[in-house]
Structures are given as structure tokens and as C-alpha cells.
A and B are shown apart, each in its own frame.
Chain A
Amino acid sequence: MDENTNKGQSADSAINNNNNAKDHKNKTENKIPKIKFNFSAIKNFYESQYKKLLIIPFALLFIAFIMIGLQAAKTGDFINRDVSLKGGVTITITLEQAADTLKLESALSSQFPANDIAVKSISRFGSQTGIIAEADMAEGEASKLVDSIEKELNINLKNTDYSVEIVGSSLGASFFKEIITALAIAFVFMSIVVFLYFRTFVPSAAVILSAFSDIVVTLAIVNAMGLKISAAGIAAFLMLIGYSVDTDILLTTRLLKRKEGTEMERIYGAIDTGFTMTFTTLVAVIVGLIFTQSDVIRQIMIILLIGLLVDVINTWIQNVGILRLYLERKARKAAQ
């Protein structure tokens, strides 16, 4: 007990020095309004209650599992798929005048908010000859979509002007099974590599757990938002692995491989670097989210945004907690 509070105090003074240096610079640079935080209370809680804090990420993981499981039981699928992944109806219409596909797509999307609609143009010899509208609806509802299109384009369509087809998913039936298998193998490879670098089992497991938790918790949140995932969205989830690994390897290296300073000093140093890393990416992602006009980019950015925020919890509470537990057990064994 004494040991812990001593370490807390020395870390306190080190951080206070840093804070003082930063304060001095802030006064001479931009005048950013500072919110008065009771830093020391939070820091003490973070340092001493790390075992209790572990409840948060694990609870999130547990809840996420349940949510995804419920969704899978209800719809047979653990993500919400968009029309390119799930299939639906395609309506092919030949037109004499060119139509603005983007305008039509957004008009239809607002009229059918529960469905995912995409509109593309068909052309022959360089000029537009018609449009193809894809929507994830049942064939019975296709006529409603046709009516809306007629109204939007201000035309009357005879039966010969358009055709309706029901399309299947563009992914094979075994796609998700393949992805899960590939991910499982990926995690095994990752844990082997981390083990080779750190020579102990616990850090390898912690890095994998963090990446896995990132993906699962983000997935549950994205499902709860009702977001329909396209192939790009699946890629975005995999991107989270990269970002998660960066912060976890940073933490593990600083904590296990470095000898300078106390344990908490090294953790705070890692938090300093890690937050910079996460923050730069977050800012870029938010900028992308605000200024993009492409639905695809928007989906990638949303998933990255949520994933990065979740990663903060999983790296700096879950991973830190696990590593500190491990170090504590190691110190206890060495003392015996």
C-alpha cells in the first residue's frame, strides 16, 4: 500500500513539473480557455483503482457480445448489410433525357429512410441512356420505388420502359465464414509476433484482446445506430486493427522494455504519446466526416471515429490494467 502511494506521489511531482512547463508556454502562445480540472483526484483514482477500472472495458465487451448475439438471433446476421452486400431489387429504366443520379439518389433516400438506395447511370456511346436504381427492399415494394422515381423525374413510365430484377448478394454465401476464419488466423499470427518481441504470454494476449474488443464494441455501437454496412465498412473495421496495435505496442514497449522512471511515469509518458497519435487521427477523421460528400467515405470515417474512441478505453484502461496486474504478480513472485 505504501509503495503505491509513494509511486503516486513521485509521479505527481514529475507530471506537475511537466504541467508547469506547459503552462508557461501556453501563456506566451495562444490563449486557449482552460477548463479547471481536479487533475490529482482523477490521477489518484486512475493509479490506485486500476483493478476496479477494468470492469468498464470488460463490461462494454460483454454488453457488446450480448447485443450482437441478440441481433444475430433476430435477423440471422450480426451486422446490418446494405444493398450491395445483401441484395435487393434493381430497377433499370431507359430514359430519353439525362437524369441527375446523385440528386435522385438523395431524394429517394429521404423518401425511403429505412432502405439503402443507390442510383447509377447507364450509358451507351458516351451519352446517358438510362438509370439503374438498387434498393434493399422486397419485390413487392419495388412498385412504390418506381412511383417515387416517376414523381422525382416528372415522367410517366410504361411497363416497357423499365425492368425489375431481384439481385442476390454480391458476396458469396461463405464470405462471412471466410472473413471470421481469416481474422482468427490473423489474431493467432499477431499473438505469435508480439510474443517474439516481448517473450511473455500476457502482453501478447492483451494486445489481441484489445484489437478484438475494439472491433466487437464498435460493431455493437454501429449496429445500434442502425448503420448499414457496405464492403467499405467491413474494410474500416479491419483498419481498426492497425490503429489499435499501434497504441498497444507503444504502451507495452514503454512499460515492459524500458527501465527509466517509475511504472506510472512510463505509463503517463505512453499516454502522452498515445493521445497525440489518437488525437491526430481523430482530427483528420472528423475533418473527413464533415467535408465529405461521399457516403462511402462517411461510413469509413464514422466507424473509425467510434473505433478510435473505443480504443482509448481498451488501451489505456484495459491493456494498462492487465499489464499492471501482470507486473504486480511478477514483483510478488520475485519478492518471495
Chain B
Amino acid sequence: MNYKIKKIFTNVRVIILMISLVLAVVAINPRPGIEGVVIRNVITNSSAAEAGIQQAAPNARASSRERILEINNKPIKDEESYYNLVNSLKPNQSIQIKTSRGLYRLKAREKIEIIELNETIEKTIEEKITVNETVNGSIVEINKTTSRIIIAPKTKTISKGTEDIGLRVYNAPKTNLKKGLDLQGGTRVLLQPEKPLPPQDLGSLIDTMSERLNVYGLSDLIIRDASDLSRNQYILVEIAGANEEEIKNLLASQGKFEAKISNQTVFIGGKDIVFVCRSANCAGIDPNAGCSSSNGQSACRFRFSIAISPEAAQKQADITSKLEVIGDSSGKGRGDAYLSEPLELYLDDAKVDELSIGAELKGSTTTEIQISGSGVGSTEQEAVFNAMGNMKRLQTVLITGSLPVKLNIVKVDNISPMLGNEFLKNALILGVLALISVVAVIFAKYRKLVVAIPMVLSSIFEIVLLLGIAALIGWNMDLAAVAGIIVAIGTGVNDNTVITDETIRGGQRGVYDWKQRIKNAFFIIMAAYSTIAVSMLPLVFAGAGMLKGFAITTIIGASVGVFITRPAYSRVIEILLKE
């Protein structure tokens, strides 16, 4: 027996399995005893932001996020104790926050409301105006400062308690596995369109919204239309794990993007734009402009290139052919010639950028254009972060186009998970019970522990590997994942039964070569695997969100089984059973 065990663990396939398992556990990073809360996001301009607490990237792995350990030397165990402590702060109270990255000191600010009273008082204000004056016989423009008296309403400042210090936290996750909407709950946003929409427009609005959120990187969401008893139209959005500010920025802005020359529209976001670069070589912080800081503020410029459709390029050529070429007037100091009008970019009717058009582009149907913008912050790192965030939002709007109507956010709530907080614990118990019953059946059938134990170990290993891959690629664990795991384990046990039957009973059926028996078994397994994998493929491309997740999880689970655990199992069985 010892000789056999040694042979098992020195076998290549088993070694591959062991290494994969170790990698999977590392990827999952289980920390069952962890306490504290993790920062989801920092509200801009809050006292936490001013103290220097930095926002993590939205897709940052849970284990790398900053964790709050103590506030004023009191340990913070969970979300509830954090919020209890924060809600009990007095205005102007200083607090010290100890996190996994360091110590921060901040002051809870007072929430002030300014009320207008019915009385009025006189106020003196200074203004700078430009006047034409005659100086030495010629008319010149001079800036003068004048003061005038206006009547303004009298105001009273009242204190409304303490302003929230501006951190959104959640319980420190025990693993690197991201939980989806079903398991973790999320944010529910109720939006109201500015104008009522006819039903087919409502459908396309929902489609564009979900496309926009998907392009931005938020895929675990549900969008539905809703109305209240007075027939007001609403849109209901439920998203897992996103922060309120992101959602407000993405959903509430209509995202109407227009590029104009001389007030004529050249192209608009959406259908006129055939390609938006998102890869690092043509999108990111502008290597020529970079970042700069002044007065304690940093600013960084980003740029990315886009390609517009031939029709839009033709329109641009028509407009630019009518412009005149003028010398270098924009102070760029390179002596180039430019056209008399720039290309102006408008987002939601506000100008966001202005690009000078090189003279050589007059009348030419150029399809590549470079868009740039900037982001600011109190440190360079924050400025980079905000610049990349602005760039990503702009790219999203350009790709998906504008929403047909502006949406107003009516309310934002945090909702509990559909599956209940106890789900994972119950699922674990259920999984263990199911495995025990499978072992019982296998043992009753084959009467050999050397078959039952490797089979159940094989199933456990497959689950770990599947979860490891999920943690590695940042997959959201939701119902789809649960269903996919069940299928993967089910087919795994089935396949192992085939292997066991072929090898044990192959002798009775006249197949005496062990290699041939294994080959027979794997023919069945590979045929079944290919058929199942291929049947899930159309779902990956067609299905609505949840079914796509199910299809992908099933394919990954089946593949892990067929290529890693099944070969190891067949070798183990061969070693243990061969006389």
C-alpha cells in the first residue's frame, strides 16, 4: 500500500492536480478569522478625502483594499459597529482612524444649512468690468474694479449635526471571491425619465442603459421598467457592488455627445463612431502632456483615439473644405497652419474640449481623431485616478451613444441579497450532505473504499479549482455560478463512474489491456464533454446576463474536470486497482 501511495504522488497528472489546487487556494485567499470593514469608496470632498484616504480602483481585489481596524482606539468589527460609531460623532470632533495602511486624523465637520429669512440687508460687492475709455485720443479697453450695493436676503446658519465623514464600507470579505447581486445584495436606484416615453422607446432606453453599464464594466445588474399608481414612469436598476457616485455619474448623465465645427454637427456619440481605442497604446494618460501640480492641486491629461464612420468623415470633409487656413494662432509655437474654426466637443450641451484642426485636413475624409480631457485631484495619484475615470466615462458614452432622454435619480437604496444572508452557510452544509450521500451510493455499488474516497476527493478538488478560477478572473459568484458548479460536479461524478466501470468491469467484458480500458472510458468522457461544451456556447453569446454566466461556469467547470481532475483520477484508480 505504501508503495502505491508513493506512486500516486509522484505521478505527473496528480502533481499537476496538486499544483493547480495550491494555485486555486492562493487565488481564493481564505481568511476566515478576518475582522473589520473594507473601504468601498471615498466620497469626494468629504473630510475623509481631505485627510488623505484614497479611493481604491473599482475592480481592486478585496484583499488589497484598505481595511479599517480601529477608530479612536476602539476596534471596528463589522459594518454595524462602524456606522454606529460614525453616527455618534459630534461636530468638530477629532477622530483617529487606523487602517491597514496607516493612521489618519480627521475632524468631523458640522453640517450647516443656510436658511433665507424674510428680512433683507444691504451688501456691498466688488466687480471687475471692462469699459471703453479714451486715453490719449484712442479708444482702449480697460479693466476697472467698481463696488456697488445690492439688496440680498438675510440668512441664518443653523447646525444640522455632524456631516458624514464620507466613507462607504462593507464587511471585510473572508475570501477573494466576489459575490454577485443574488448573494450580496446591492444598490437599487429608482430613476425617472424627464419626459414620458412611448413603450418602444422605453425598451431601447433600457437596452442602451444596460449596454452603457456593461461597457463601463458593471455587468451584474437588473434593469426593469416600473410605474407607480399615478402612472408615473420609472426605471428600476439593481446593481451589485457599485458605489453611488459611479452610478449617479453613469446613469443620470444623458451622455449626449456632439462634435461641431462652426456650430454644425460633424458626428455624434454612438452610431457615428465605429471604434474607440481602449488599449494602453492609444488610450491613457497623455505621454506628451502628463500631469502637473500647482496650488496643492494636481491635474492630469488623458487622451484616446477614435475612428468615425465614413459618412461622418465625409461630412467633416465637406465642412472643413469651406474653412480658411490661418497661420499658427493658438500659441502652440510650432509654426503649423490651422483651419479657421476648431472642432468643438460637447457633452450634454456643455463644451468639454476644443481641438484645432491641422491645415492638411482641409477637405480630407480623415476618420481618426484623438480626444483628450483631464482629471484633477489633491495628489497626483488621485488626479491620475480621476483622469482615468473621466476617460472611461467618456469612452462609454461614445461607444453606447446617448440616452434618448435625461434621467433623474429619485432614490437610491441598499437592498439585501435575494438569496438571504444565510445562503452560503446553508449551501456549504448542503454540499457536504450531498457529497456524503454520493459516497454512500458509490460505496454501496463498488464496495471498495479505494474507489469511493478518490471519487469524492475528485469532486471536492473540482469545486476548489472552479472557485479558484472564479476568484482569479474576478467572476461574480451568483446563482449562475451555483448552478454551473452543480452541473460540473454532477458530470464529474458521472464521468468518474464511467472510468471506474470501464476499468473494473472491462476485464469481465474481455478487454484485458488496461490502457485500452482507459482509452474506452475517455472516448465516452470526451464525447460527452464536447457535446455539453458546444451546447453551452450559443448561450454565452445570446443569453441574457444570468444564463450567460451559467453557460460560462458550466464550460469552465467541465473543462477543469476533463483536463485536470479526470486524468488524475483515472491514474489513481489504475494504480490502486491494478493487481
Contact = CB atoms under 8 A, between A and B. Distances in A.
Interface of A: 25, 29, 87, 90, 101-102, 118, 120-127, 129, 132, 139, 163-173, 175, 178-179, 181-183, 185-187, 189-190, 192-194, 197, 207, 211, 231-232, 234-236, 238-239, 241-243, 245-247, 249-250, 253, 257-258, 260-261, 265, 269, 272-273, 276-277, 279-281, 283-284, 287-288, 291-294, 296-297, 300, 304
A175 B188 CA distance: 22
Given A179-B542, A232-B483, A257-B523, 9 more contacts: A87-B224, A132-B188, A172-B206, A182-B538, A193-B527, A236-B483, A242-B491, A245-B535, A261-B510
A247 B491 CA distance: 10
Contact of B546 (A165, A190, A235, A246): A235
Interface residues of B, number: 90
Contact of B228 (A121, A166, A292): A166
B103 interface: no
A101 B479 contact: no
B491 A179 contact: no
Interface string B430-472: 1001110110111001010000000000000000000000000
Contacts of A185: 538, 542
Interface in B526-560: 527-528, 530-532, 534-539, 541-544, 546-547, 550-551, 554, 558
A181 B538 CA distance: 9
Contacts of B418: 118, 120, 296
B498 A273 contact: yes
A139 B229 contact: yes
A187 to B, nearest CB: 7
A74 to B, nearest CB: 24
A134 to B, nearest CB: 10
Contacts of B236: 90, 165, 167
A280 B497 contact: yes
Contact of A170 (B222, B415, B530, B542): B222
Contact of B528 (A249, A258, A280): A249
A118 B185 CA distance: 14
Question: Taking chain B's interface residues, is the majority helix, strand, or loop, or is none over half, making it mixed?
Answer: helix
Contacts of A249: 524, 527-528, 531
Contact of A287 (B434, B447, B510, B531): B434
Given A185-B538, A242-B532, A273-B497, A281 B527 contact: no
A304 B416 CA distance: 28
Nearest to B479: A232
Interface stretch (B20-28, B298-306, B420-428, B562-570): B420-428
A121 B416 contact: yes
A246 B491 contact: yes
Contacts of A277: 493-494, 497-498
Which 9 A-B residue pairs are closest in the complex by CB-CB distance?
Answer: A126-B83, A182-B542, A284-B434, A182-B538, A185-B538, A186-B535, A168-B225, A126-B79, A189-B534
B234 A132 contact: no
Interface in B57-110: 79-80, 82-84, 86-87
A296 B532 contact: no
B437 A166 contact: no
Contact of B547 (A238, A258, A296): A238
